[in-house]
A and B are shown apart, each in its own frame.
Chain A
Amino acid sequence: MIDFLVAPLEYDFMVRALIGSVLVGVMCPLVGAYVVTRNLAFIGDALAHAVLPGMVFGFIVGINPAIAAIPTGVSVAVLIRVVSRRAGLSSDTSIGILFATMFALGLMMLAVVSTVNVAMEDLLLGEILAISPTEVYVSVGITAMVILGLFVLHHWLLFASFDPVGSQVVGARSNFVDYLLLAMLALVIVIGIQAAGIVLVMAMLVTPAATAYLLVRRFVPMMMVAAVIGTVAAVTGFYVSYYFNLPAGPAMTLVASGIFVLVVSFRRRTIA
């Protein structure tokens, strides 16, 4: 059994892939706990698609695409709220407009710049086995920033998530906290895309957190359980990918979904 687990780690790229998988498994569900309880799933999906032009720009100018995706994701996250507020549109509408616009922009950039050789399938479905040392460093840096942000802002995030109106009354900070939460969401999406791709990163954000929501009562334990489920799904997906030569992103997604189906078949939560 130990040989089974250790064998892939003889190669440096597999060690990097395992580190990347664990970071995805921990970070996406930690922020995903807010996504699930605040109905932000659509915004998460939109941000994942909206970083495409940033990544393509990275390929064009020779910057690591994960690094290039960071400012794009954070900008779009902030822009979604700004457009909603300024135009008086619902968040869903603003998200729909920006998500489609940015994804289309990314596709047009790929079509126009023919000199760049990008595997579209890797972008859409992720390729954790190809994660570079730079991308591991970026993921570790993002992990540190987001964990610090979640820890420092914990009480403000709880307040703004539970009672958005009441939290606004006690200060303009709560708006700022919402912007920071969206920025953190954009950052973990950048980590998640490397493993699960643009299309499936949503699964790592939502499924482990939704499963944890059914299993535990309080928010902080929910975050912890979600991170454990996410890590189990990501690492299992990693080994499945190695031993069966299957894509890691879909494997992680199916493991997370399998755990969810198992839990939802005997647990449910009623909301008063």
Chain B
Amino acid sequence: MKFAPDPHSASMSLQDVTVELDGHMVLSNVTFDVHAGNLMGVVGPNGAGKSTLFNAIAGLLPVRQGKVTLHRVDQGGGALAYVPQRESVNWRFPVTAMDVVMMGRCCRLGWFRRPGKKDRELVNACLGRVGLWDHRSALVTELSGGERQRVFVARALAQEASVILLDEAFSGVDVGAQEGLVEVLRTLRDEGRIVLLATHDLTNLASRFDQVLCLNRHVCACGPPDQVFTSEVMEQLYGAHGLGLTLDEERQ
């Protein structure tokens, strides 16, 4: 299975994106570009607006000013895939890994078409790519935190999405499984997809992402990890407690 639409030339740009919730400014003048083939980490403390940013990009929240633009990507309903926070998923609903990945085909199937042989083959291939083919018939509730995240990534693959947003994807996932997840995301990046992952976990961040967006209601810094993690930026993100969190210390 290959990702077709114009790999390596797509990009997403946000210009002066400002979002208000209940009259309060949650994001202010957020501007950054991310190009295909980039795995970007979005970091910041709780309440920094990471989820709000993803919701604005995904069209779930209205943007008060500014705009989000996707360049050279398939503009269909499935262009953008969203891996939600653990809390917003209805885990009581009894579905298997295969059922979840098949959900990615919804926007491609339309209203009246039922999934056919090709869809099932694609779903199996996507589960294989994230290393979960053997678990295809397992209920998602029977999978570990890392495996669940990989099921959602497989769903994004089945959706043939150009942009993948993962909100707090490391939450409830142990370090070993985080590495497995990052490996999968890197292969998607290499195919020309744009992958954004929000996290407040700074452990080993430098080695994981190509770009890092430091967010605390506004963009504190954006660029390669070894350039953005300065003591000034960490102070903007985490206040006085952030002063000790420089990149060197993280690497240790």
Q: Does B106 contact A (CB under 8 A)?
A: yes
Bound complex: CA A83 to CA B96 (Å): 34
Q: Does B118 contact A (CB under 8 A)?
A: no
Bound complex: CA A173 to CA B155 (Å): 18
User: What residues on A are CB-neighbors of B83 within 8 Å?
Assistant: 166
Q: Does B78 contact A (CB under 8 A)?
A: yes
Q: Does B228 contact A (CB under 8 A)?
A: no
Q: Does A167 contact B (CB under 8 A)?
A: yes
Chain B contact-residue range equals 35 or more
User: What residues on A are CB-neighbors of B60 within 8 Å?
Assistant: 165, 168-169
Q: Does A13 contact B (CB under 8 A)?
A: no
Q: Does B240 contact A (CB under 8 A)?
A: no
| Contact indicator B102/A155 (Cβ below 8 Å) | yes
| Contact indicator B107/A170 (Cβ below 8 Å) | yes
| Contact indicator A166/B84 (Cβ below 8 Å) | yes
| Contact indicator A155/B91 (Cβ below 8 Å) | no
Interface residue SS majority, chain A? helix
Bound complex: CA A158 to CA B82 (Å): 16
Using A155-B105, A166-B84 as known contacts, say yes or no to A218 and B95 having CB atoms under 8 A apart.
yes
Q: Does B25 contact A (CB under 8 A)?
A: no
| Contact indicator B139/A271 (Cβ below 8 Å) | no
| Contact indicator A171/B107 (Cβ below 8 Å) | yes
- Binary interface encoding of chain B residues 103-118 relative to chain A, with 1 for a CB under 8 A from any of its CBs, else 0: 1011101011011000
For chain B, residues 111 to 127, give those with C-beta under 8 angstroms from any C-beta of chain A. 111-112, 114-115
Instruction: Count chain A residues whose beta carbon lies closer than 8 angstroms to a beta carbon of B.
Output: 29
Bound complex: CA A153 to CA B109 (Å): 11
For chain A, residues 109 to 134, give those with C-beta under 8 angstroms from any C-beta of chain B. none
User: What residues on B are CB-neighbors of A272 within 8 Å?
Assistant: 91, 141-142
User: What residues on B are CB-neighbors of A195 within 8 Å?
Assistant: none
Q: Does A156 contact B (CB under 8 A)?
A: yes
User: What residues on B are CB-neighbors of A158 within 8 Å?
Assistant: 93, 95, 99, 103
Bound complex: CA A173 to CA B109 (Å): 12
User: What residues on A are CB-neighbors of B90 within 8 Å?
Assistant: 37-38, 161-164
Which of A164, A169, A271 is B92 in contact with, Cβ under 8 Å? A271
- Binary interface encoding of chain A residues 26-63 relative to chain B, with 1 for a CB under 8 A from any of its CBs, else 0: 00000000000111000000000000000000000000
User: What residues on B are CB-neighbors of A167 within 8 Å?
Assistant: 103, 106
Closest-by-CB residue of B relative to A39 is B92
> B102, B106, B107 — which one has the most chain A CB atoms within 10 A of its CB?
B106
